[in-house]
Structure 1
Amino acid sequence: MQILIQPDELAARLADTLAGNAVDADSEPGGRTVVLDVRWSLQQPDGRPAYRSGHVPGAVYVDLESELSDHDREGEGRHPLPTEERFTAAMRRWGLRDGDLAVVMDDLGGQSAARAWWLLRHARFDVRLLDGGLSGWVAAGHPLERGDVVPEPGEATARFGGMPVLDIDDAAALAAGGVLLDARAAERYRGEVEPVDPVAGHIPGARSAPSAGNLDADGRFLPVEALAERFAALGATPGAPVAAYCGSGVTAAHAVAALAIAGVDAALFPGSWSQWSGEGRPVATGDAPAGS
């Protein structure tokens, strides 16, 4: 299962798409390549200004708040998953057609784009994460484009079920008997700070695995062996019951992607800490999984 695409490979695919040529038979898949720009952060949730100032040529902006979340679904955390119907509408706005390859990217080492990667995988659509994101693209010598890209509507359809999902009770059970990884920064896991949610701390039994630790200094994913070693030290090995959560199910998708690179299948708890703390569930603090 290929998770990543490198900047030079993406540039070659975009050139083939622009020329209307078929992609080399040794490269899968062989259809068009559509780039989706998912710039978002807690500090700057609207990534449009940054997108308009410079993006991969042809990239379509994706709004994480309105297209990768459904805020009409109450009680499911700060970024509830969109319904299949709503995600289908988003995919079509992005111009996706059956047989395309979607490439998702951001300027955070994939930590926001992974939400789109996960949802597209869940929708059974072929997708890759651009390794290194925007900085990797620029460092490889490829150009940027300014302004908005408005594609012709596509006809792709989301068919959810491609990725495992946990609800809040499933997450509690896994924390007690499996490996539940917390992808937030270590200080949030320990309960020292909580900038967004009503309570600080972590799910009892969860283990700290900040998503930033999946990346090297250039914002690229660590090599397979390094990721496998990192996760094995936390008990996350192939065949083990593993899942990830974060604040609201965004960077947890980055953990799921990194685990997949390492050969570990993992579920996502999309409600994450925002749902857990909002429901008044038990809270642990400190470095240890059981808290103090």
Structure 2
Amino acid sequence: MTLITATALRDLLTTDAPVRVLDVRWTLAHPDGRDAFAGGHIPGAQYLDLDSQLSDHSRTCLGRHPLPTGPALQKSLRGLGVNDGETVVVYDDAQAAGSSRAWWTLTAAGLTDVRILDGGWAAWQSDGGQVETGPGRTPVPGDVTVTVEDLYDGARRVLTRDQAAHIGELGTLLDARASERYRGETEPVDPVAGHIPGAANLPLTSVLDEEGRFLPADQLREVFAGLGVQRGDDDPVSGAYCGSGVSAAVLVAAADSVGISLALFPGSWSQWSQDLVDEPDSTTGLN
């Protein structure tokens, strides 16, 4: 199960079931969501920092948000009180980007019950969920075990740069960025504008409704089928990328929720475009 509703989470928190809630508020403009967390969060939630705990910036040539190592992720999760056997629920307040990155990273690390709060913080509030303020409670250290040494070789399919370059020959490569970035009309972050040759544009907003919830299952299947993506693990690989491997996880999560498997190119356009700068004779990806 990929998603959980606010109502279902509220009900779950009233039981004796082991549940850990992680707040992953993050945006490109405001990557540190601690102030928002302190202003109001789900009672008992812990803040999971995308930039420092779901990324490892010491790993070079892998884009703007390289994946953390398994041992580093285990240390972070234990520090947040995560235990083996718990249901982990992740949420954010920005179109599911932070929570989808957390969901992808934790499941790639081998955690088996990780769910995205559908609609995020807004859904929790509109559903009448209680609100806690302040820096959060000090957790008892957890005992969660991450057996994966490197998440690039973890439990979820990952595309390398070379695989992303050729995926169009077998399957479909989806670009989760806004259409104007895909078309190369603007590029506010990376050194080159454009997209990976052969990629199709599917902005992450295409799989969400106006309230930031994932579309119903039948609509999601239609969206993906419209771009030729409707098959599972045993069929030609399809994948997704974005600017730096964060918002593309929204497409992967949406697909996963309806039984469709998408691989993730974690380096995404940030890695691809930097390689173009470093290797100016290679293809630009511009149309």
What TM-score, normalized to structure 1?
Answer: 0.91
Matches within 5 A, 1:57-136: 57-125=43-111, 126-136=113-123
| Shift, 1:62, TM fit | 0.7
Partner of 2:200: 207
In structure 2, the residue corresponding to 1:279 is in which secondary structure? helix
Instruction: Calculate the aligned-residue CA RMSD, in Å.
Output: 1.1
| Partner of residue 155 from structure 2, selected from 149, 152, 162 | 162
Contact preservation (8 Å) 1:68, 1:82: yes
CA displacement at 1:96 relative to structure 2? 0.7
- Is the contact made by 2:170 and 2:236 (CA closer than 8 Å) also made in structure 1? no
Match of 1:40 among 14, 17, 26: 26
Query: What are the ranges of 5 or more consecutive residues in structure 1 without an aligned counterpart?
Result: 22-30, 286-291
Q: How much does 1:108 deviate?
A: 1.4
Is residue 181–residue 243 contact of structure 1 (8 Å, CA) maintained in 2? yes
Kindly provide the CA deviation profile for residues 150-176 of structure 1, in whole angstroms up to 9, marking residues without a partner as x. Answer: 211111122332111111111112133
Match of 1:52 among 38, 46, 49: 38
Q: 1:182 aligns with which of 165, 175, 180?
A: 175
Tell me if 1:233 matches 2:221.
no
Are 1:143 and 2:130 matched, yes or no? yes
Is this contact kept in 2: 1:36–1:60, CA < 8 A? yes
Asked if 1:266 is matched to 2:266, the reply is no
SS at match of 2:14: helix
Q: What residue number does 1:24 align with?
A: none
Q: Which moved more, 1:266-275 or 1:173-182?
A: 173-182
Structure 2, unaligned stretches of length 5 or more? Answer: 149-153, 277-281
Count of matched residue positions in the alignment of Structure 1 and Structure 2: 272
Letter in 2 for 1:116: A
How far did 1:178 drift?
1.7
Partner SS state of residue 39, structure 1? coil
C-alpha displacement of 1:262: 2.6
Q: Which whole-Å deviations, capped at 9, do the CAs of 1:84-134 have from their partners, x for residues lacking one?
A: 111111111111111001000000131211000001111121200000100
Task: Give the alignment's TM-score, normalised by structure 2.
Answer: 0.92
Partner of 1:15: 14
Paired position in structure 2 for 1:282: 283
The one-letter amino acid of 2:99's match is: A
Please give the per-residue CA displacement for 1:42-100, whole angstroms capped at 9, x wherever unaligned. Answer: 11111111110000111100110000000000000000000111111111111111100
For 2:8 and 2:284, the matched residues in 1 are separated by 45
Shift of the alpha carbon at 1:260? Answer: 1.0
Identity among equivalent pairs (%) = 50
1:176 & 1:66 partners in 2: Cα distance? 36
Distance apart, 1:267 and its partner CA: 0.7
Q: Secondary structure at the match of 1:174?
A: helix
